[in-house]
């Protein structure tokens, strides 16, 4: 049986700030179903939420710091999770990356270097857990030092590094490497050094045996200057060990036929029930309950990546049309304020909820007609997948995973029943507005619209296929 240690800074439902947590909470159980002995490891944050019991396992010392290993299970599964308990770094109010006030932890380099060192000790079976993996699967910069440090070990497990978002790299002033006690052998321009900074993500990109990212299109995009942030040369150099595997979704958690927080359950055969969720959503967010008016939605971190500026530029024209818009998100304070201002100006048409609300996210997916994702770049994106499962037709910019998972509505894709949404190329308000108008034309024909919805609902976005692709990769290396 293949043994895989799966390391991440966030895992749903224990703690989540974005899609990384969704993936790290749903891929490992899917791997287990395929017969992999997979164990998860993450920091023991104060905000971590679980219904499962937690046991003490062992204590190890890394870089003169005591780290306690606790063991629990991923809720509603029997996948083992090891929690790295180091109170001075993780037992504090806030989220994995920022404090209570939303400021990045000043010691993020120390926090995730410590986490990475503990992962290395466990990977080398020096954590008193009597278990050694064949493969260590690392995710994003927070675990980037793991492949780098492991590269210096003899008889080590193989390493896979998955890029969930290349925009976040873990760059720190270079002096920090001394405090972190990083081996000098790793410090050079073909190692952890990047333009005079210490780069955690380069630890994964340079030293991992295999690099993956979360869609095929993004795998190609990050080898270009437009998406590569200066790392495109390195990524092209490693292209033989770089591949894209589209994320799956947890189809138990995101399923309109069983979702416990939505008003009315539905599937392809009972699609008209979706309108009950629409009415409930309109009521809940304080918009007029109107059946015929299309409800647009957006659920997102409110950051430039997500094309929020394009939305803001479209809103004056969009809100003159017979539409409603329900938005849930948090992030950049300027975006938040501008969106709230529109909601005040158009109370009958636009409802904005600032904050993070998992239940409302499900209710919006169930109640909306059309989902907007005009991202400037999008490694995979999950909401366009959730939307398709909920019969909510996505409008996306043709980039990354959005390009790989939404099929534009054209005469030929309507004819062969592959159309699932609308996509546009240019990151401009004009191109987004044109896609919105195209969607409204199709929306006015309820028969064609229902076909679009069903085309999306029929697609299998479960982890079945992608987990198999990861397993094949583990076998290969
Ligand atoms: P990213 O990881 O870049 O934020 P993804 O589309 O991959 O983008 O994943 C985002 C995840 O976070 C989705 O599950 C989405 O529903 C969720 N999400 C984002 N913002 C919110 C919010 N304000 N409230 C609830 N869920 C949110």
Average pLDDT, the chain: 97
Q: Residue 390 in 3-state DSSP? A: coil
- 18-44 residue pLDDT tens: 999 999 999 999 999 999 999 999 999
CA of 283 to the centre of ligand 1 (A): 23
Q: Do residues 327 and 357 make contact, with C-beta atoms less than 8 angstroms apart? A: no
Q: 117 φ, ψ to 5°?
A: -65, -40
Q: Strand pairing of 55-62 and 65-73?
A: antiparallel
Q: What is the pLDDT of residue 240?
A: 98
What confidence tier does 304 reach under pLDDT thresholds 50, 70, 90?
very high
| Ligand 1 pocket by Cβ (under 6 Å) | 18-20, 22, 299-301, 328-330, 356-358, 361, 380-383
Distance 19 CA to ligand 1 centre (A): 6
- Span 144-153, average pLDDT: 98
Query: Cα–Cα distance between 425 and 440 in angstroms, integer?
Result: 18
Cα separation, 162 vs 160, whole angstroms: 7
- Tell me: pLDDT of 102 over 90: no
327 beta partners: 298, 352
Which residue has the least CA distance to atom 8 on ligand 1?
A: 19
pLDDT (0 to 100) of residue 101 = 87
Please check the confidence at residue 418 and state whether its pLDDT lies above 90.
yes
Rounded to whole angstroms, how far apart are CA atoms 78 and 76?
A: 7
What is the Rg, in whole angstroms, of the alpha carbon atoms belonging to the chain?
23
- pLDDT band at residue 342 using 50, 70 and 90 as cut-offs: very high
% the chain with pLDDT above 70: 100
Q: What angle do CA 446, 323, 282 make, to 5 degrees?
A: 90
Beta strands in 50-148 (DSSP E): 55-62, 65-73, 80-85, 135-139
pLDDT, one tens digit per residue, over 360-414 is: 999 999 999 999 999 999 999 999 999 999 999 999 999 999 999 999 999 999 9
18 Cα–ligand 1 center, Å: 5
From CA 291, how far away is CA 256, in angstroms rounded?
Answer: 19
Taking the centre of ligand 1 as the mean of its atom positions, its distance from the CA of residue 1, in whole angstroms, is: 34
147 vs 161: CA distance, rounded Å: 8
What pLDDT is recorded for position 4? 98
Alpha carbon 22 to its chain's center = 6
Instruction: Tell me which of 12, 16, 22, 355 to substitute to probe ligand 1's pocket, judged by most ligand atoms within 8 Å of the beta carbon.
Output: 22
Mean pLDDT of 121-146: 98
Nearest CA to ligand 1 atom 20: 300
| Tens of pLDDT, residues 346-360 | 999 999 999 999 999
pLDDT at 428: 98
- Check if the beta carbon of residue 204 is closer than 8 Å to that of residue 235: no
- Cα(389)–Cα(375) distance, rounded to whole angstroms? 20
Domains, the chain, ordered by start: 3-248+464-476 (3.40.50.2000), 268-460 (3.40.50.2000)
Protein residue with least CA distance to atom 4, ligand 1: 18
Question: What does the pLDDT average to over 92-101?
Answer: 93
Question: CB within 8 A of 91, min separation 6: which ones?
Answer: 44, 45, 46, 85
The residue behind tokens 């309108």 is: 275
User: Is the distance from CB of 61 to CB of 67 less than 8 angstroms?
Assistant: yes
Q: Name the token pair of 16.
A: 């989540």
Other CB atoms within 10 A of residue 190 CB: 9
Strand partners, 15: 11
Query: Which residue has 């890394």 as its token pair?
Result: 62
What would the mean pLDDT of 186-215 be, rounded to a whole number?
98
**Nearest CA residue ID for atom 12, ligand 1:** 18
């Amino acid at each position: 049986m293949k043994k895989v240690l799966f390391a991440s800074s966030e895992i749903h439902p224990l703690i989540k700030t974005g899609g990384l947590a969704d993936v790290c909470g749903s891929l490992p159980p899917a791997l287990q179903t395929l017969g992999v002995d997979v164990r998860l490891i993450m920091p023991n944050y104060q905000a971590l939420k679980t219904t499962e019991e937690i046991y003490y396992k062992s204590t190890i010392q890394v870089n003169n710091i005591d780290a306690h290993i606790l063991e629990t299970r991923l809720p509603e599964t029997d996948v083992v999770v090891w929690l790295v308990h180091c109170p001075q770094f993780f037992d504090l109010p806030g989220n994995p990356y920022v404090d209570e006030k939303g400021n990045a932890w000043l010691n993020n380099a120390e926090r995730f270097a410590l986490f990475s060192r503990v992962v290395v000790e466990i990977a080398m079976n020096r954590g008193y857990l009597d278990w050694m993996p064949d493969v260590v699967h690392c995710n994003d910069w927070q675990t980037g030092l793991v492949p780098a440090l492991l590269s210096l070990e003899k008889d080590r497990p193989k390493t896979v590094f998955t890029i969930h978002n290349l925009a976040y790299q873990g760059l720190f002033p270079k002096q920090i490497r001394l405090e972190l006690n990083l081996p000098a052998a790793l410090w050079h321009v073909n190692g952890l050094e990047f333009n005079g900074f210490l780069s955690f993500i380069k630890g994964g990109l340079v030293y991992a045996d295999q690099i993956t990212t979360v869609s095929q299109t993004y795998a190609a995009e990050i080898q270009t200057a437009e998406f590569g942030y200066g790392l495109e040369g390195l990524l092209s150099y490693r292209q033989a060990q770089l591949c894209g595997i589209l994320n799956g979704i947890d189809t138990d958690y995101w399923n309109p036929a069983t979702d416990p927080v939505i008003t009315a359950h539905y599937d392809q055969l009972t699609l008209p029930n979706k309108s009950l969720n629409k009415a409930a959503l309109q009521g809940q967010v304080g918009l007029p309950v109107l059946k015929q008016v299309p409800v647009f939605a957006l659920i997102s971190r409110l950051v430039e990546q997500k094309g929020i500026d394009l939305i803001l530029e479209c809103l004056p024209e969009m809100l003159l049309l017979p539409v409603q818009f329900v938005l849930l998100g948090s992030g950049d304070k300027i975006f938040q304020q501008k969106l709230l201002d529109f909601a005040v100006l158009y109370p009958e048409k636009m409802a904005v909820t600032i904050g993070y609300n998992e239940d409302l996210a499900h209710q919006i997916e169930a109640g909306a007609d059309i989902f907007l994702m005009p991202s400037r770049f999008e490694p995979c994106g999950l909401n366009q997948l959730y939307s398709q499962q909920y019969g909510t037709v996505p409008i996306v910019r043709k980039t990354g995973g959005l390009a790989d998972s939404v099929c534009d509505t054209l005469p030929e894709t309507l004819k062969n029943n592959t159309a699932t949404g609308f996509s546009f190329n240019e990151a401009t308000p004009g191109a987004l507005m044109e896609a919105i108008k195209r969607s409204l034309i199709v929306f006015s024909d309820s028969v064609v619209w229902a076909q679009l919805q069903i085309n999306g609902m029929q697609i299998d976005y479960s982890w079945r296929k992608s987990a198999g692709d990861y397993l094949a990769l583990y076998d290969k290396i």
